């Protein structure tokens, strides 16, 4: 089910039970005897639209409150995922036919060089995308696990004794220049 449809269903559920939901969210207790005792709410007009839950220990609203808790958590997760999609400007669940699944087969530290280069130059969302979001985008798009960006940055920073700190980007630059020079000679 699409996230937006699920969010709409959750909001409809919340609207249907607005009075009880507001009671739940306010953390009030003056109606607890009516709502949460086995005998308390039998004749209450407040509970006329509440579906009875069969069970020896269920009270009129115990199941409904459990659903509020679960649905609010679900709603938060869905809102966060939708926000991430908007932040990245793309659908992270890429259409498999339009975009076949690709896997980064190089060293993941090389992808960290690319991610930090993109981040430091402010190339995504006019520079407002954070390094964590960029890394997660690359992880998702290229089916790779990069890890914690700051820890990987430390690995890049300490490279100076063994090779260039930007070894992969240097190789990319050399390969691009070589291809351009070859095309100039041929053409």
Query: Which residue did the predictor score with more confidence, 177 or 60?
Result: 177
Predicted pLDDT of residue 187: 76
Q: Cα(24)–Cα(156) distance, rounded to whole angstroms?
A: 50
Q: Cα(26)–Cα(162) distance, rounded to whole angstroms?
A: 60
State the burial class of residue 70 (Cβ atoms within 10 Å of its Cβ: 0-12, 13-18, 19+).
exposed
Q: What is the pLDDT of residues 109-165, one digit of tens each?
A: 999 999 999 999 999 988 988 998 899 889 888 889 998 888 888 888 877 666 788
Q: Which tokens in the block code for residue 81?
A: 């995922």
Query: For residue 173, what are the CA distances in angstroms to 144, 178, 180?
Result: 23, 9, 11
């Amino acid at each position: 089910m699409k996230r937006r449809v699920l969010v709409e269903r959750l909001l409809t559920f919340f609207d249907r039970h607005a009075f009880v939901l507001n009671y739940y969210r306010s953390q009030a207790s003056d109606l607890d005897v009516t709502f949460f005792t086995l005998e308390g709410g039998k004749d209450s007009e407040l509970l006329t639209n509440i579906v009875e839950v069969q069970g020896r220990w269920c009270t009129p609203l115990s199941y409904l409150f459990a659903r509020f808790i679960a649905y609010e958590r679900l709603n938060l997760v869905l809102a966060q995922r939708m926000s991430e999609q908007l932040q990245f400007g793309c659908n992270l669940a890429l259409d498999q036919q339009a975009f076949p699944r690709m896997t980064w087969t190089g060293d993941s530290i090389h992808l960290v060089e690319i991610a930090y280069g993109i981040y430091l130059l402010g190339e995504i969302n006019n520079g407002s995308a954070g390094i964590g979001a960029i890394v997660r985008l690359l992880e998702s798009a290229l089916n790779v696990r990069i890890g914690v960006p700051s820890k990987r940055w430390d690995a890049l920073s300490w490279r100076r004794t063994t090779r260039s700190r930007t070894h992969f980007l240097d190789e990319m630059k050399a390969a691009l220049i070589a291809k351009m020079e070859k095309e100039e000679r041929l053409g």
